[in-house]
Amino acid sequence: MSGKLLAVNLATLACSSLFYGAFLVLSSTSMYLLVGRYLATRQSRALRGQDHSIFRSTVFVAAIGLFVAITAHWITTLYRAFLAFIHFQGGDAALEFYVDAADTTELLQNGFLMISILIGDSLIIHRLWVVWEHRTAVVVFPVCTLTALTLCSAVSMYTESRKTQDVFSDPWLTSNAVLTIVTNVYCTGFITFKIWNITRVARPIGGSNLRDFLVIVVESAALYASWAVFFMVTYQTRSVVQFLVIQSAPPLVGIVNALIHTRVGLGWAIVAQVGSPPPSQLAFAKAVAGPTPRETAAGGVSDIRAGSLDHAREESLDGGSSGDVRRFSVVGEKANMDNETEPEAEVGDAEAQIGGKAQ
């Protein structure tokens, strides 16, 4: 057991450093893209009277906090390795050092770990809140699970500080893993449901596609949920591998969020280089009586330009936009059909599903 514990702690240092390096690259890239987009759109936002400091962006501030917490956790992990193998009793009692859960550096390491997870869960709840048009009822449950996770984390750290052996006897760690899985599955499920309904009713013809954003969110959530499940399995089986898994959580949380910001931010950069394309055009997927697509009296095709539909996605990333997702511009004249009432009712239904206030 002693040899395995020392080996897994060395492996933890190596894996944490590897993951932190990947996070550092992705985080730097995403921050560069976020700041670049803020500066590029500053003039247009000023004309609309919406100019404000980037530090009012929820996502930007959270990304900075996440970077600080993850960096502090990696530094603490590195410092503990030097203490264990060099400074603590001349490096002859590394095992005794690592099994002491009440050590100050151990508590600091776990503290930074919990802060990283809490910030990561807060970001996905914020993403859910934006996509669901700031509806409080939708985020009540994940806010409750986040609050419970905060309390369980505090109790877990307190109980660990009171003992020096057998970390596998702490039930609060299992509760933490379950709560973070529930939060991420709930938020991802409701984000998927909302975006799927939008794209089902209004099919994009050109411009950006909300399903691209959906794929990014689902992939990132699946990666994080897989980690949480793997931790629960290793912990319940009392495997020493759980030390490696749990201490790899902070950079993994950072990678998951930085992947979302970077992949969408790169899309912004490509649009900026090629030139702004016309806003996305949406055609109703539901069949209606009459010509399809609906012809106008002038012979044109009536469509909805929903450039502002992308607003919810952008706000979930930069947190600094404002506007109304309900804004649409209808191209062409309205058709003078005998069955005009039914298509207009359908337009209202689509607007009701797509629309929503954004901050």
Residue ranges and CATH numbers for the domains of the chain are: 2-274 (1.20.1070), 281-358 (no CATH)
Cβ of 65: how many Cβ atoms within 10 Å?
A: 16
Residue owning tokens 């109980």 = 159
Three-state DSSP state, 19: helix
Rounded Cα distance between 25 and 255, Å, is 9
CA-wise closest residue to 257 among 126, 139, 83, 161 = 126
Structure tokens at 167: 């970390």
Higher pLDDT, 269 or 57: 57
Least-confidence region, from 23-32, 158-167, 182-191: 158-167
Q: How far is CA 349 from the centre of its chain?
A: 29
- By the 10 Å C-beta count (0-12 exposed, 13-18 middle, 19+ buried), 336 is classed as exposed
- Report pLDDT for 1: 54
Average pLDDT over residues 244-269: 83
Rounded Cα distance between 110 and 289, Å, is 62
Q: How confident is the model at residue 67 (pLDDT cuts 50, 70, 90)?
A: very high
Least-confidence region, from 80-89, 131-140, 199-208, 342-351: 342-351
- Spatial strand order of the sheet with 329-331 comes to 202-206, 281-284, 303-305, 329-331
Residue owning tokens 């921050």 = 31
Rounded Cα distance between 142 and 134, Å, is 14
CA-wise closest residue to 157 among 118, 124, 125, 185 = 118
CB under 8 Å to 347, separation ≥6 — which residues? 284, 304
CB under 8 Å to 300, separation ≥6 — which residues? 331, 332, 333
Higher pLDDT, 252 or 338: 252
Residue pLDDT, tens place only, 98-153: 888 778 898 999 999 999 999 999 999 999 999 898 999 999 999 999 999 999 99
Least-confidence region, from 176-190, 203-217, 278-292, 294-308: 294-308
Given a cut of 70, is residue 274 above it in pLDDT?
no
Rounded Cα distance between 12 and 6, Å, is 10
Higher pLDDT, 304 or 218: 218
The whole-model pTM stands at 0.74
Average pLDDT over residues 277-285: 45
Kind plus residue range of the DSSP H or E element containing 330: strand 329-331
Do residues 175 and 152 touch, judged by C-beta distance below 8 A?
yes
- Report pLDDT for 53: 77
Average pLDDT over residues 295-314: 42
- Report pLDDT for 88: 85
- Report pLDDT for 315: 53
Three-state DSSP state, 305: strand
Cβ of 2: how many Cβ atoms within 10 Å?
A: 11
Cβ of 257: how many Cβ atoms within 10 Å?
A: 25
Helices 171-201 and 341-354 sit at what angle, rounded to 10 degrees?
150
